Structures are given as C-alpha cells and as structure tokens.
Amino acid sequence: MINSQKIKKISKDAGADIVGIASMDRWEGAPKQMDPRYIHPNAKSMIVLGFRHFRGLFRGIEEGTFFSLYSSMGYAGINGTYQPLVLWKIGKVIEDNGYEAVCIPNRCLWGNTDASGIEPEKTGKENYAHSRPVENVKPAPNIFVQVRIAAFLAGLGEIGWSKMFLSPEFGPRQRLALIITDAQLDPDPLYNGPPLCDRCMMCANACTNNAIPRDKTIKITLAGREIEWADIDMLKCSYGFCGSSEFHNPFMVTEEDKKKFNSEKRIEARDYKINPIDGYSRALEGASGCIRACMIHLEQKRKIKNLFNNKFRRKKPWKLDKIAASD
C-alpha cells in the first residue's frame, strides 16, 4: 500500500531533492493544450520532484573561463540522464502497487506549444510537431505540461518575477519533473511560507538582453490563488541565453561572429560556432538575471536554506569591450 509519506521517502531515497504532491483538480481552468488531465483522465494525483543544479555549475561562467557545465550538467545531465533514472525507480514502486505511473521528465517533446502556451515559431523556436486532435474534444498532441506550475500546485514554492520557479530550499536552482498517477495521495497545501520573490528587480537589471520587463506582467489564477510574473520576451531571452550580446559572449570575436550569433534564423544563431549539448542550447549568457542575480540576492537575504560558506560573487562581473570594426 502506498501513501504520500511513502512516496516522498521513496522519491528522496531515489535521488530527488524536494517532493510535493498535488491533486489533479488543481489544474481546473488550465488551457486545454496544457492540461495534464488529458494525458490520464482517471488520474488522481501528481507527484512533483525537484532536482537541484549545483551553484558550482555557474562558477566558470562567473569567472569567464568555462562555459559548458550549465548546459551539460544543469540541463542535459539532469533532464536527460538523472531525472529518468529517478523517475524509473519511483514509477516501479507505484506500478508494483497496482497504479499507473506516467513519468514526465523536464522535457515535453513534440509539443505544439512552448512553456508559455505560445506556438514555438513565434518565439524563434522550431515547431517539430504540427498535429491534429484524434477527437474533437481533445487537444492536439503533444500537450505541454508546465512543470513550474505543477511545482506551485504541489506546494514546493512560488513563481518569481522572472517566471522562474523558486523553492525555499534552492531559490531558482532546480529542474522539475513529475509523475501522474491514478493513486489517491494526500496533496500538500500550496506554499504559504515567507515570500521568496520580493520584486527586487535584480533579475531584470542583470538580464543581458533585457528580456525581463519591469512593468509588463501576466496574471493567472492557480487553485484559487492569483499569481503574477513578468511578461518575458521569449525571443530576446532565447537569443540572449545563447550569446547574442557582444559584451557577454567571449566566443563572439569578429563582426561576422556578431552577425551569425544574431542571425534572423534562430536555428543558425543557436548552432553557430559552438554546437548545442545533447540538444540543449549553449548557456553562454549563463542565466545572468533569472538565476545568478536572483540566487545572489536570495542568499544575501538568507531567504533560502541551501547557503554556502563563501559568497558567490566576489568582484564586479566581467564585461567585454565592444568588438573592433573590421578594416
């Protein structure tokens, strides 16, 4: 017999850092294309798992000397290797007890929308799966399960101004995964601890491509609670993250580099000069605002539990000079 307490112990023993449980009715009102109840109409519970990514993954970017770890370990390693192994272990226990386990790592592939519910091509991304519903009453495959909202509904934390999910344990430093099951599990209450995001706007100030506005927001209601975050310019975010700024990308050396890193064709810009790592874009900007600036602020204010012996930022952040014009 499984229950919420056993599931949480099994999940942490398997390798998850934080675990929360939501009842499926908390998804009431979700856009059809993002409603996980269409995946398993008889599901009763959603188990949401958080996997920390180490603060040390940003050290090389902060120093300007080693840029590949956040993409390789923070994205590909967690999402493509570690999460599936942990989900596999938990799922076996659930199904050994006679319930289905729909295990979803932090990669919703073949989706007709992105995490914002926007058609991918409108944010400069590729839409790999134009599709049509199998029945008129259903959304077209694949639906996109917004894992940050799942984590909020499971009581693991809140969504900050930058639209990043913030936990009281790690702030913005985690990847999320989930399991949908027909097992009836006791849900956790929504997070009701001290507010994590204090609207300091350091995320907006530090974003190298100005993708996080200070005065334009999105408001939605989740499980009866209204939440708000900045209306992120996802196209600016996508380009900036992959190195469009000549002041924050040391791999941009020439005017030709500058042109190619800012190519109107998003795929060309993403793949130019340095290939993506296991399908993940190169984090050359290093999440300067949405993770690093936020993380530094939350640590300084001691708002999170995972604190360190030494400050992360020990000197003024580096910034490159403008690229010299070619003769």
Task: Assess if residue 260 is contained within a domain.
Answer: yes
On whether residue 288 sits in a domain, the answer given is yes
Q: What pLDDT is stored for residue 237 in this prediction?
A: 92
Average pLDDT score over residue span 160-174: 98
Q: Which of 31-45, 108-122, 189-203, 241-255 has the lowest mean pLDDT?
A: 108-122
Which 3 state secondary structure label does DSSP give 300? helix
Does the pLDDT of residue 129 top 70, yes or no? no
158 assigned to some structural domain: yes
pLDDT at residue 124 tops 60: no
**Total domains present in the chain:** 1
Per-residue pLDDT tens for 231-274?
A: 999 889 989 999 999 999 999 999 999 999 999 888 888 888 88
DSSP calls for 104-171: E-S--TT-SS-TTSS-GGGGT---------SSTTSPPSSP---HHHHHHHTTS-EE-TTS-EEBTTTB
Range of the structural domain that residue 53 is part of: 4-185+196-300
Q: What is the 8-class DSSP label of residue 33?
A: G
What does the pLDDT average to over 124-131? 59
- What tokens does 182 get? 């027909």
| Domain contains 306 | no
Element counts in the chain: helices (H) and strands (E)? 10, 8
Structural domain includes residue 262? yes
What CA–CA distance (Å, rounded) separates 229 from 216?
9
Q: Pairing relation of β-strands 174-181 and 45-52?
A: antiparallel
DSSP assignment of 217-279 equals EEEEEETTEEEEEE---HHHHHHHHTT--TTT-TT--SHHHHHHHT-SSHHHHHHSSS--BTT
Mean pLDDT check: name the lowest of 116-130, 153-167, 225-239. Answer: 116-130
Tokens matching residue 222 = 């989740």
Residue 115 has pLDDT above 70, yes or no: no
Cα–Cα distance, 182 to 42 (Å, whole number): 6
Question: pLDDT, tens digit, for every residue of 267-299?
Answer: 888 888 887 777 676 888 999 999 999 999 999
**Three-state DSSP class for residue 321:** coil
Asked if 90 and 7 count as a contact pair (C-beta separation under 8 A), the reply is: yes
Instruction: Quickly state the pLDDT bin for 141 (edges 50, 70, 90).
Output: confident
314: pLDDT strictly greater than 90:
yes
114 located within any domain: yes
Q: Which string of DSSP letters, residue by residue, matches 45-66?
A: EEEEEEEE--GGGGHHHHHTS-
pTM for the predicted model, two decimal places = 0.92
Q: Is residue 276 part of a domain?
A: yes
List the one residue out of 242, 247, 234, 246 whose CA is nearest residue 271: 242
> Per the domain annotation, does 311 fall within a domain?
no
